[in-house]
Amino acid sequence: MKIIRAKDYNDMSRKAANIISAQVILKPNSVLGLATGSSPIGIYEQLIKWYNKGDVNFGECTSFNLDEYRGLTADHDQSYHYFMHKNFFDAINIPAARINLPDGAQMDIEKECERYDKAIRAAGGIDLQLLGMGLNGHIGFNEPDESFSKGTHCVDLTESTIEANKRFFESADDVPRQAYTMGVQTIMLARKIIIIVSGENKAQILRDACFGPVTPMVPASILQLHTDVSVVADDAALSLCTEKELR
């Protein structure tokens, strides 16, 4: 793991956006794995600014999102389809035909998971995967479990994840209880991974993920075994890591 220290959320966002833009500039037809939630919004804002200046071009890129709530249609204002178009896709030139997300409206779990994995394979796999990390160490919606997941699957969301996401809905009762998510194995097959972490409330789980044992009870800990991972984290998130560990 390469740990990139940032001063704050904005600095973290800019540093992560630099890595993504470099990927696209060096390989214009990159397959990008993208994430949702509050953590990557600053990254998308920075990439849009650079796109508008003509510094980066997404016209040949393909994207695959990590996850989607099961039971929400693409036009639902809390779906990840809606989120990605509002916060990124509608402001850049990535072709609509190359945008991929799990279909939350598809209730046939086996059919949808098989479709999504097949699409990722057909695209040649993911060149760069962007991740956030949950308070319990989840990546995508891969929650703490007894084993690491493989391909795309449907998960029952934990109470802590529902609690963390309820701010986006009218109440916790409105948060979907299931989601489609890329599996840990799919994430690990990405050629490059960036994981972004911000805030003091994630300091302990970040230390556990980076320097603790590799265990499915901390899903992000598996990233220790990947050959090209950049952890971009602000000072608050790194506050429990020692200087020796950070070196």
Query: Residue 238 in contact with residue 205, Cβ under 8 Å?
Result: no
Query: Which residues neighbour 128 within 8 Å (Cβ) at sequence distance 6 or greater?
Result: 19, 20, 23, 30, 31, 32, 33, 190, 191, 192, 193, 194
Q: Which residue is catalytic, options 67, 68, 103, 234?
A: 67
- Three state DSSP letters for 82-142: HHHHHHCHHHCCCCHHHEECCCCCCCCHHHHHHHHHHHHHHCCCCCEEEECCCCCCCECCE
Q: Which residue is catalytic, options 68, 103, 143, 208?
A: 143
> Within the chain, how many helices (H) and strands (E) appear?
8, 10
Q: Which residues of 53-64 are buried (b: 16+ CB within 10 A; e: fewer)?
A: eeebbbeebbbb
Q: Which residue is catalytic, options 65, 100, 112, 138?
A: 138
67 is catalytic: yes
Provide the 3-class DSSP secondary structure of residue 64: strand
153 is catalytic: no
Q: Which residue is catalytic, options 136, 145, 226, 235?
A: 136
Residue 213 to residue 18: CA distance in whole angstroms: 30
68 is catalytic: no
Residues marked active site are found at 67, 136, 138, 143
